[in-house]
Structure 1
Amino acid sequence: MRQTLPVPARLLALLLFFASPLLAAAQADCPLRITLLTCAPGAELYSTFGHTALRVQNVQTGEDRVYNYGTFEFGEDFYVKFVRGKLPYFLSIERYDDFIYQYQMESRSVWEQEVLLDCTRRAALLRALDENALPQNRQYRYDFLFDNCTTRAGDMILRQAPAPVTTARVIPEAADKAPTFRNLIHRYLDSGQQHWSKLGIDLLLGAKLDRRVTNREAQFLPEILLQGMTGARGADSLIVSAARPVLQLPRPADGGGIPRPGIVFGALLAVVTVLSFMPRRGVRGFIRAFDFLLFFSTGAVGVLLLFMWFGTDHQLCANNWNLLWALPTNLLAAPFVRRDSRPMHWYLGATIALNALALIGWIFLPQQLNTGFLPVVLLLLLRAWLIILKPHYHAPEADRT
């Protein structure tokens, strides 16, 4: 038996049928156009990972503005705040022409994805952006992984989308196949030939960077957010359009001509190894000075790692396993490392044990250590072993029998 709708329901359906073209026309006439801007990586370290911003155009008023969450002030205390993890970022608003000109000058491509939310939700998104831009709201504590210019722009769009909200898969579905935060960062540093910057990042950032990412967490990087947003859906409707190029420019030249850290430190290891077995007066003087510099510099690095762990707000600097070889105590031991005394030999023996542990556990530690430091660890092992067991190579000429 066929069922029929009650009269009120039929009237409502009829009204919706005739009103739908009007609603579609009103949607098409929405004066707001909002787009997600994704900017390609640049040549400098600060631009290696790219950038994200939101563009808002108003057809009625002719306004064309960019909301940029990646702004900070370069003041006298910039470096102090940066090192301590207290550098505030803020949301700024600038003209689109000014924004795009900067990327044109830096030879960095820009892609645009139009926000497909209805006009009401677009208006709500604009209100939220303007509220964020108020003097009392615009500042925030920057976090490279979880709260940066990219995550903020993406979150602002997704908050206005109808539930349930999903983004496209950008990493393998199996959790054990997912990359770590460090893996994702390495992709950009390797692509930009930033090998020394990679060495510094791997030195300063501890084991927390080696956690596997979730699909949403992986989108803290601009180009990966672009991929995730391309297939993002709210209530089974697309949230943004496919990306279209605004600027297509060749990538700026990188620093590929600079020797990699592994090559530089490896060459140093080879030279010092050869000189260590040449018992000549001039060579012995060089080796004596080198021993001081080696232990002093690794000790200074260790003190820096401890400071970054306990003396700053950088959470990613905690649990740093580089302290196995960069011993802070080396800083104090450096002036006495060549003394032929039992306490110093015990100390050098302890450094041998710790460096050997670091070397053996290089691939098993919960933190991915940079292979560029392997020659440094080998140097520490070599010099400590020779100081203890081969004193006749280093004793003054008059003391030799």
Structure 2
Amino acid sequence: MRHFISFVLALAISTSLAFGQPDSCRLRISVITCAPGAELYSLFGHTALRITDSTRHQDVVFNYGTFDFSDPDFYSKFVRGKLDYFLNPEPFDGFMQFYQEEQRGITEQELNMTCAEKQALLEALKTNLQGSNKYYKYDFLFDNCTSRVRDQVQHNIPGVTMQAPLVPEGTTFRNMIHVYLDNGGQPWSKLGIDLLLGSRMDRPVTVNESMFLPDYLLKGVDSAKKGDKTPLVLQKKQLFSASPDLSPQNKHVPLIVFSVIAVVVLLLSQWKQKAGTTLMLIIDSIGLYVTGLVGVLLLFMWFCTDHVACAANYNLLWALPTNLLAGFFIYKRPTWVRKYFLYLAFLQIAVLVAWIFLPQQLNIAFLPVVIITAWRSFQLTFK
């Protein structure tokens, strides 16, 4: 019922906007920034556009961050990067209530716009609501709910500039994301993101690119100037002040866990009895299967999905898909498998030497994995 009511309200709003011709000078247009939440999906915050029409008594939020969770192929499309997000108009009161319930602060920046600029932006949104125009392929870095708002503002306010540096020089996409994951106490999510997202995350961001996150678009709009050098923000308000309850974990928890596992494996490898040798072969085979499957996953995300950030992933230097095959021959160890382990050992040493020079920032928690893989590969070569 709730989804049906939301659909009816959205339809009524979009129909009214499509056929009405409001006096644009009676429009009030704002950028709405919602603070990060406690869950991973909300950890980076949210951005939307608010348009208030005093003549028609409408207060509408245009939200680019919506998708159809009821789609029967939702999970398949999400994994493959083919899930359609869309622009959705909704009443401001309902929008506000949702974020209040989640205890997430809401900041409003009313934009300093002429009547013509307001009308142009409204027309752009109306066009964006028509048919297939409302859908887009979500990209976390380059095409998301925040970047869409940024682009609408820049395209419909002539001469607006947002060129003040918002992050220190050399800051990368990964650096920016890490701040939120660390502050939100999400060390395992950080590990997973660092595993799946490749080297495209590690180039320095431009000023415009840094505004892919809501807090940085807020800063960019704050510092922006129009063509006549007047500030873009007419006034700024804190509509709701709150902070979600967070349960932060030590950001080094994965490193500690993997280090303990590596030490245990190292100690067990010194057990020379037959039982110890058998146990180590089981552990080694499991390690090869796991790293091999991870490598297959990374290749799939690179070549078989539309997630551009998953391309050129240097984690494939330690998570080799070929480990999966080697795991099946570890017990008999024919000559080619021994050579494979020698190659694997030298490759892991090379990764360790080049760790800080690679064009991708590898998560430090994987360091014990690389070290123990090198150690065990040498032992398997010469035993």
Q: TM-score, normalised by structure 1?
A: 0.85
Larger radius of gyration: 1
Residue among 92, 100, 103 paired with 2:88: 92
Are residues 1:272 and 2:246 paired?
A: no
Distance across 2 between alignment mates of 1:255 and 1:80: 31
Are residues 1:33 and 2:39 paired?
A: no
Label 1:43 to 1:94 Cα distance change in 2 as closer, same or farther (>3 A): same
Contact preservation (8 Å) 1:168, 1:229: no
Amino acid at match of 1:220: F
Distance across 2 between alignment mates of 1:164 and 1:324: 44
Matches within 5 A, 1:117-128: 117-128=113-124
Label 1:63 to 1:164 Cα distance change in 2 as closer, same or farther (>3 A): closer
Instruction: Point out where structure 1 has 5 or more consecutive residues left out of the alignment.
Output: 1-27, 392-401
Aligned to 2:134: 138
Matches within 5 A, 1:1-400: 30-74=25-69, 75-163=71-159, 165-172=161-168, 177-235=169-227, 236-256=229-249, 260-389=253-382, 391=383
Cα displacement (A) at 1:321: 0.9
Distance across 1 between alignment mates of 2:250 and 2:191: 16
Distance across 1 between alignment mates of 2:280 and 2:236: 59
Distance across 2 between alignment mates of 1:303 and 1:275: 28
Label 1:340 to 1:153 Cα distance change in 2 as closer, same or farther (>3 A): closer
Label 1:45 to 1:83 Cα distance change in 2 as closer, same or farther (>3 A): same
Moved more, 242-251 or 196-205: 242-251
Distance across 1 between alignment mates of 2:162 and 2:381: 62
Contact preservation (8 Å) 1:299, 1:329: yes
Report the RMSD for the aligned CA atoms in angstroms: 1.8
Label 1:123 to 1:265 Cα distance change in 2 as closer, same or farther (>3 A): same
Q: TM-score, normalised by structure 2?
A: 0.89
Amino acid at match of 1:145: L
- Count residues in correspondence: 359
Label 1:224 to 1:275 Cα distance change in 2 as closer, same or farther (>3 A): same
Distance across 1 between alignment mates of 2:119 and 2:333: 77
Aligned to 2:14: none
- Give a deviation string over 1:158-181, Cα, whole Å, max 9, x none: 222132534433134xxxx32011
Distance across 2 between alignment mates of 1:69 and 1:29: 22
Distance across 2 between alignment mates of 1:223 and 1:301: 33
Amino acid at match of 1:307: F
Distance across 1 between alignment mates of 2:240 and 2:377: 56
Amino acid at match of 1:69: Y
Cα displacement (A) at 1:256: 1.9
User: Which SS does the other structure have where 1:57 is aligned?
Assistant: strand
Contact preservation (8 Å) 2:349, 2:374: yes
Distance across 2 between alignment mates of 1:325 and 1:148: 31
Contact preservation (8 Å) 1:109, 1:247: yes
Write out the 4+ residue segments of structure 1 that deviate beyond 4 Å after TM superposition. Answer: none
Contact preservation (8 Å) 2:35, 2:105: yes
User: Which SS does the other structure have where 2:233 is aligned?
Assistant: coil
Instruction: Point out where structure 2 has 5 or more consecutive residues left out of the alignment.
Output: 1-22
